[in-house]
Amino acid sequence: SRDTALTSATGPGVTADGRPVALLANIGGPRDLELAKEYGAEGVGLYRTEFLFLDRDVAPSEEEQEAAYREVVSAFPGGPVVVRVLDAGADKPLGFLPPTENEPNPALGARGIRIMRIFPDVMAGQLRALARAAEGSEADVRAMAPMVATPEEAAWFVAACRAAGLRSAGVMIEVPAAALRAADLAPAVDFFSIGTNDLAQYTFAADREVGALAAFQDPWQPVLLDLVAMTASAGVPCGVCGEACADPALACVLVGLGMSSLSMGAPALPWVRAALARHTFAQCRAAAVAARAQSTPEAARAAARTHLPGLS
Ligand code: PEP
Ligand code: MG
């Protein structure tokens, strides 16, 4: 039950039988660090850097970016800090870039890594700023690309990261093509991070911003669990950074599917930490198997819960 003592529970994520699961925070900038600390995040699993770039006529300088990245890196000297390069597109236009062509379907347009390939200097500047922010520290700084769909895009991004001097580079898995062929992307990258929000949007061809289609965003959809399992089977360290992680029962299922980290809005961390502490990895696996055997989100949730007695 959600007793108030749990809100202050801290410490690293671990299942009842000792399997570590890194519990990380999603942040939009240094201003979110306080909350991440307060709820005991072990690091940052998703730093959405677009907030540094929005509503500006000129791009932030590399020095300004370096300062913003350094603040986050120094807040978590021990844990991972995963910085995502710009996830801009027609729905999040950047004032300092020339307008791209009019796109009737922005979610299917030049966004994420696709727009970075049109303006590679912007991404190179971000990566240089991040590499400098990491310099001289032992911090586990990682760069991550959004909206990657092909092995070629993954390899292009990782090569740019290496050229900037970054040690760790990975890609988000949020396009079904990438999940279905995760094994083809695997050789290029150091890690995967599954974005369940966009993965649901693209799997169901249902705009995540349209309220009438909200049911398609239910992260208990068995097909999403299948795509998570398929991604995990590629054998690369893999986590989830979409909203799915914030549901304690689903967090257990995701661990059962092989996720080694979960990144979420900080206030959900204590509930997820407590849910993991009450269940063994075998229980998490059984919950995942039971959920995937269902054909609706409701049935998947109910089936998983029968294997997770520590949740009331
Ligand atoms: C996602 O798509 O699940 C994700 C984590 O990224 P964003 O919500 O920023 O698109
Ligand atoms: Mg996304």
Q: How far apart are CA 248 and CA 254, in angstroms?
A: 10
Q: How far is the CA of 136 from the centre of ligand 1 (A)?
A: 30
Helices (H), 165-280: 176-180, 182-185, 196-203, 222-232, 248-256, 269-277
- The ligand minimizing its distance to the Cα of 243 is 1
pLDDT digits (tens, 9 = 90+) for 50-65: 889 988 888 899 999 9
Cβ–ligand 1 distance for 239 under 6 Å, the answer no
Supply the pLDDT for residue 23. 98
Neighbours of ion ligand 2 (CB under 5 A): 174, 195, 198
Per cent of the chain over pLDDT 70 is: 97
Helix 297-305 × helix 222-232 angle, to 10°:
70
C-beta atoms surrounding 54 within 10 Å: 12
pLDDT digits (tens, 9 = 90+) for 242-272: 999 999 999 999 999 999 999 999 999 999 9
| Rounded mean pLDDT, 203-215 | 95
The best mutation among 26, 44, 48, 208 to test binding of ligand 1, ranked by most ligand atoms within 8 Å of the C-beta, falls on: 48
**Residue at token pair 């844990």:** 79
- The ligand minimizing its distance to the Cα of 209 is 1
Residue 38 binned pLDDT confidence (cut-offs 50, 70, 90): very high
Supply the pLDDT for residue 204. 98
State the ipTM, two decimals: 0.99
In sign, the C-alpha dihedral spanning 115, 117, 119, 122 is: positive
Closest CA to ligand 1's atom 8: 197
pLDDT digits (tens, 9 = 90+) for 152-183: 999 999 999 999 999 999 999 999 999 999 99
User: Is the pLDDT reported for residue 276 higher than 50?
Assistant: yes
Closest CA to ligand 1's atom 3: 195
Q: How far apart are CA 156 and CA 154, in angstroms?
A: 5
Residue 92 binned pLDDT confidence (cut-offs 50, 70, 90): confident
Closest CA to ligand 1's atom 9: 48
Question: How many CA atoms are closer than 13 Å to the CA of 185, on its beta-carbon side?
Answer: 37
Cβ–ligand 1 distance for 195 under 6 Å, the answer yes
Q: How far is the CA of 147 from the centre of ligand 2 (A)?
A: 7
Report which ligand 1 atom has the smallest distance to the Cα of 197: 3
User: Is the pLDDT reported for residue 190 higher than 70?
Assistant: yes
Closest CA to ligand 1's atom 4: 195
User: Is the pLDDT reported for residue 9 higher than 70?
Assistant: no
Closest CA to ligand 1's atom 6: 195
Cβ–ligand 1 distance for 241 under 6 Å, the answer yes
pLDDT digits (tens, 9 = 90+) for 95-150: 778 777 888 888 999 999 999 999 999 999 999 999 999 998 889 999 999 999 99
Cβ–ligand 1 distance for 197 under 6 Å, the answer yes
Supply the pLDDT for residue 94. 79
What pTM did the predictor assign? 0.95
Query: In this structure, are residues 48 and 197 in contact, taking their beta carbons and an 8 Å threshold?
Result: no
User: Is the pLDDT reported for residue 4 higher than 70?
Assistant: no
